[in-house]
Amino acid sequence: MHAEVRMARIVEAIGLYRSRKVTCEEAAEWLGMSERHFRRLRDRYEADDAEGIIDRRRGRVSGRRAPMDQVDWVIDQYMTRYFDFTVKHFHEEIAKRGFVYSYAWTRMVLYRSGLVRPKRRLGPRRKKRARRPLPGMMVFQDGSTHEWLVGQPNLDLIVTMDDATSEVYSMFLVEQEGTASTLRGLSETIGRKGLFSSFYTAESPPKQAAKLD
């Protein structure tokens, strides 16, 4: 591979890594080098730009790099026979036919050829809110619209319960959930169990309960 082409591929791989589209391992496999060497090139590029990744062993061919005919074969197979397959399914099929390169390498080839778009990474999953450890620390209220009574229009079921134990303190039906139904649920809860520490609904974050004088 010419030095200019090799340089362009390394810079492209570093760009994909920086944008979090590939891992270090995947970028290294695509370039036909070890992950450790890719990390060295990445660090040199960040420190000295392109000058830092000039091949000091120019003229030596890596024994790990895949031949171009293998790259062309993968692209041809995907375009003509497996264009409606996912990358994973495609790799499984060609592996049955004796293909020896990894799924990560195959995916990188298809990404670079433009035949497959990298999947957009999802943001961190929202962690499930931990329940309060003791009764009375938080009261939870929610409303659910449904045809609760046969032959009657939809009504809102307002339920107020303890966050720690799921014990129901108040439950009733209203035509429309609102401030009045919220206050009624809280009033019935306080009347049965006394004051609680905080209040939470599905639409709002927990709030500290008002203290009575």
- The predicted pLDDT at position 160 comes to 94
Instruction: Please state, in angstroms and as integers, the Cα–Cα distance from residue 28 to each residue in 36, 38, 104, 154, following that order.
Output: 8, 6, 10, 59
Q: Give the DSSP letter string of 142-170.
A: EEEEE--STTS--EEEEEEEETTT--EEE
The answer on 94 and 20 residing in a single domain is yes
- How far is C-alpha 148 from the geometric centre of its chain's CA atoms? 37
Helices 68-80 and 103-113 cross at an angle (nearest 10°) of 70
The answer on 154 and 85 residing in a single domain is no
- The predicted pLDDT at position 189 comes to 93
The answer on 179 and 81 residing in a single domain is no
The answer on 143 and 108 residing in a single domain is no
Domain extent for 199: 139-208
Distance, in Å, from the CA atom of 170 to the CA atom of 190, rounded to the nearest integer, reads 10
Domain final residue pick, 97, 113, 129: 113
The answer on 82 and 159 residing in a single domain is no
Inter-residue contact 185 to 141 (CB < 8 Å): yes
Is 122 contained in some domain?
no
Is 118 contained in some domain?
no
Encoded tokens for 48: 């000295």
The answer on 166 and 79 residing in a single domain is no
At residue 140, φ and ψ (nearest 5 deg) are: -110, 135
The answer on 19 and 104 residing in a single domain is yes
- The predicted pLDDT at position 36 comes to 83
Is 128 contained in some domain?
no
Per-10-residue mean pLDDT of the chain, 213 residues long, equals 67 84 83 81 74 51 58 86 87 90 85 75 62 87 85 89 92 89 92 88 54 42
The answer on 80 and 146 residing in a single domain is no
- The predicted pLDDT at position 178 comes to 86
- The predicted pLDDT at position 57 comes to 44
Is 134 contained in some domain?
no
Instruction: Collect all residues with Cβ–Cβ distance below 8 Å to 202 and sequence separation of at least 6.
Output: 142
Gyration radius (Cα) of the chain, Å: 30
Does an H or E element contain 134, and which? Answer: none
The answer on 14 and 61 residing in a single domain is yes
The answer on 7 and 87 residing in a single domain is yes
Distance, in Å, from the CA atom of 187 to the CA atom of 31, rounded to the nearest integer, reads 68
- The predicted pLDDT at position 213 comes to 42
What is the total residue count of the chain? 213
The answer on 148 and 83 residing in a single domain is no
Predicted TM-score (pTM) of this structure: 0.39
Q: Look at the chain and report how many structural domains it folds into.
A: 2
Is 213 contained in some domain?
no
